[in-house]
Amino acid sequence: MSSTLEVLRRRLTGTLALPGEPRYAQLTTGFNVAVVATPAAVVEARDPQDVAEAVRFAGENGLAVAVQATGHGIAETFDGALLVHTGRLDECVVHADGWARVGAGVRWQQVLDAAAPHGLAALCGSAPGVGVVGYTTGGGLGPVGRTYGWASDRVRAVELVTGDGVLRRVTAEQEPDLFWAVRGGKGAVGIVTAMEFDLVRQPTLYAGALYFAGADAATVLHRWRDWSATLPREATTSVALLQLPPLPGVPEPLAGKFTVAVRFAWTGDDQEGQAVLAPMRAAATPLIDAVQTIPYAALGMIHADPVDPMPVHEATDLLRELPAEAIDALLAVSGPDAGSPQVIVELRQLGGALAEPAAQPSALDHRDAAYSLITIGVLVPSVAGAVAPHSEQVRAALKPWATGGALPNLGAGTGAERLARSYDAPTLARLTEVARRFDPAGVLRAGQVPVRTR
């Protein structure tokens, strides 16, 4: 195979990295270091033509193709596949009239910083270090989602290489089936090289987090449940049970302790936001009150997600409702006295603009869910064996209120069972049909794509 891969190397303007080479190790390391990627080779694309060459080569030689840019979406080993790395596709242009064009290697913070001088904002996620493309093709649930909806609904155009090795420009009018599939369908129908999307005018936010002691967990969670049910769409919120390790950067009141975080983002008038948040501020005495007026480009501080790679296990569900009994069930398995090994157990309120249909239909399902659940455990030796079984206990405790579905991007996963949870049967059938039409050889069969064989 190595001699055959040398043929591909000569066809690229970018680089080809093979196992044992220093660049191979760098390009196959993802954010979740518990998953070790072992592709046959890595194409570090310099331009879209490199992506097309890689896909055509894979088709000619019976290889599967996988893709990554920042490593945040790696959920399997890609064993024996040809991995296309798009991190060098770094075009980032913000237009003052309210839209942006980015290459597949761009991260959200780059867009936020470029949009800020124009008073514009991008619908990024809670961690702005994540790549734009992977986040958006999976729907894109962000800290202001209840106001502005899903990131995928703001997409104007996508440029991608389909499984037949053709670079295509896709819009609602041009290749409408691909436009439907790529917004919510992750990598099912092609490797995205560039994306254009609308921005919103939101220079600042009233946002941040309230942190409470673990002893107040029951009071805070029940108050949050009642309070969140009354919120207008200007408010987006989540609540998280935290057990943050005593590491540099973790504030002393939180380090090594069980705490509760109430995250809040308000897109309206700041004084109105203060009034809306008041019931949560009064629920108990906060250890830290970090809710304030911030530049939109600083919205990563709301969730303060970790930025360094680590070995993690994630599990997720969607909930149709959140009665008081569900809060009690969650506390019983994840509260301060439960012995939970999870670092984070989060409930995020959905609804608002997230429940509205897209102006252009897309492959993103589950818009009717009321809340999302995610557990995140760090696989350190002292708890590694307990994390996954406990996450299933959490899911089982909330099963009476679960929809059975999952969002494509939340709690990365692959395989038929995960696909069936991410998409309803008609959506998955259509995704599979579109993928087969543009990838008849089944080249794009690695990662979170419809399960197909050659």
Q: Report, in this order, helix, strand and coil percent for the chain, each rounded to 5.
A: 35, 25, 45
Q: Check if the beta carbon of residue 368 is closer than 8 Å to that of residue 318.
A: no
Per-residue pLDDT, averaged over 117-124, amounts to 98
Verify that 210 and 197 share a domain, yes or no: no
The answer to whether residues 222 and 333 belong to one domain is yes
> Is 449 part of any domain?
no
Q: Which residues have a Cβ under 8 Å from the Cβ of 186 and sit 6 or more positions away?
A: 134, 137, 138, 408, 409, 447, 448, 449
Q: Clarify whether residues 44 and 180 are in a common domain.
A: no
**Which tokens in the block code for residue 424?**
């309803």
Of 201, 227, 245, the residue at which a domain comes to its end is 201
Query: Which helix (DSSP H) or strand (DSSP E) does residue 325 occupy?
Result: helix 324-334
Grade residue 453 by pLDDT with cuts at 50, 70 and 90.
very low
- Are β-strands 82-85 and 41-44 bridged in parallel, bridged antiparallel, or unpaired? parallel
Whether residues 223 and 315 share a domain: the answer is yes
Distance CA 454, CA 442 (A): 5
pLDDT at residue 406 in the model: 96
Phi, psi torsion values for 282, nearest 5 degrees: -90, -5
C-alpha distances (whole Å) from 38 to each of 27, 76, 185, 401, 441 are 11, 9, 24, 38, 22
Q: Is residue 21 part of a domain?
A: yes
Shared domain check, 393 and 255: yes
* Residues 65 and 138 grouped into a single domain: no
Examine the domain organization and report whether 169 and 222 are in the same domain.
no
Choose one of 24, 56, 85: the last residue of a domain: 85
Compute the distance between CA of residue 434 and CA of residue 356 in angstroms, rounded to an integer.
25
> Is 411 within the bounds of a domain?
no
Is the pLDDT reported for residue 121 higher than 90? yes
pLDDT class for 215, splitting at 50, 70, 90?
Answer: very high
How many folded domains does the chain comprise?
Answer: 3
Residue among 103, 112, 97, 171 nearest 142 (CA):
112
What lies within 8 Å, CB to CB, of 219 at 6+ separation is 283, 284
Are residues 256 and 192 part of one domain?
A: no
Query: Per-residue pLDDT averaged across 312-328, rounded?
Result: 97
> Does a structural domain hold residue 414?
no
pLDDT tens column, 14-41: 999 999 999 999 998 877 777 788 999 9
Residue 219 is inside which H or E element, if any?
Answer: helix 217-228
Q: Clarify whether residues 231 and 344 are in a common domain.
A: yes
Statement to judge: residues 225 and 340 lie in one domain: yes
Closest CA to 68 of 5, 12, 26, 125: 26
Domain CATH for 12: 3.30.43.10
453 domain-assigned: no
Cα separations in angstroms, 3 against 6, 16, 56, 132: 5, 13, 17, 35
Q: 3 falls in which pLDDT band (50, 70, 90)?
A: low
Among 53, 70, 85, give the residue marking a domain's end: 85
CATH number at residue 184: 3.30.465.10
User: Measured between alpha carbons, how far is 151 from 124 in angstroms, rounded to an integer?
Assistant: 7
**Token pair belonging to 385:** 């064996």
Residues 41, 22: Cα–Cα separation, whole Å: 12
In a domain, 422, yes or no: no
Same domain, 187 and 334: no
Write the Ramachandran bin of 415: left for phi over 0, alpha for psi from -120 to 50, otherwise beta: left
Amino acid letter for position 254: L
pLDDT for 101-117, tens place per residue?
A: 999 999 999 999 999 99
Average pLDDT, the chain: 94
pLDDT in tens, 153-176: 999 999 999 999 999 999 999 999
Q: Tokens 């050889």 — which residue?
A: 441
Is residue 208 assigned to a domain? yes
Residue 418 covered by a domain? no
Clarify whether residues 44 and 171 are in a common domain. Answer: no
Tell me which residue range forms the domain holding 339: 204-401
